Each structure stands twice: as C-alpha cells, then as structure tokens.
Amino acid sequence: MSGRGANSLGRDSAGASTNFQFCWNTGHWSYFMADGSFTSDRREYFKKRPGHWRAPQPGVIEIGYSERQAESLPNGQLHEYWYALAHGKEKGAKSHDKDFWGTVCN
C-alpha cells in the first residue's frame, strides 16, 4: 500500500490488481478483493448490505451502502473514520465517531 489514500487500496505499486486482508485494532478482519468483492468475519452484521466495496474518490471507501474516510499511513496501516448516526429503536443508541486502524494480515 502506498500513502496515496483509498484509491490505492486495490492496486499495488506496479499497478496490478491486488487483494488485501486487513486485521483491525478491534480484533476483526476485512477482505477487500480486487474485483470489488468484500467480506469480513462480521459477515452476519453486513447481511443486509451488498458484499462489495469501491473507492469512489481518493480518501473514501464505500462498503455496501456505507461510506467512510480512509487513509493509508506511512507505517503501512489503514485508518478508517466515520460518524455513526444513531437511528432506530435500540435502547441507549447514541451517535458517535468511529476510528479503526488496520494492518495487512500475515
């Protein structure tokens, strides 16, 4: 991964399509495939969303219907940020920021 932002996620430095599996600071993992497919160990959570991802513009990753800001850091980590707006009838639901840091899984 380079420091060019989310638009570099699906391409390696030579420009060839690449798959990436990220291990997140939360203990979860996500797999971004070069063909636009997406899966995660939290697949049950994403069951109502399409299993696809894309980078519609530099610094933005869209997974299913959800967009988040993203940046690849000089140390090789991927940082994702988004604001989770509370909705629905979940007891105690609150809007909050979400920050996640991922590294390429070995």
The string of pLDDT tens digits covering residues 49-105 is: 567 888 888 898 888 777 889 998 898 899 998 776 665 556 666 667 788 999 988
Number of neighbouring beta carbons within 10 Å of residue 50: 12
| Encoded amino acid at 50, one letter | P
pTM (two decimals): 0.67
- Quick check: 6 pLDDT over 50? no
Residue 31 β-bridge partners? 21, 39
pLDDT, residue 27, reads: 93
Distance CA 91, CA 79 (A): 29
Q: Please report, as a single letter, which amino acid is at residue 92.
A: G
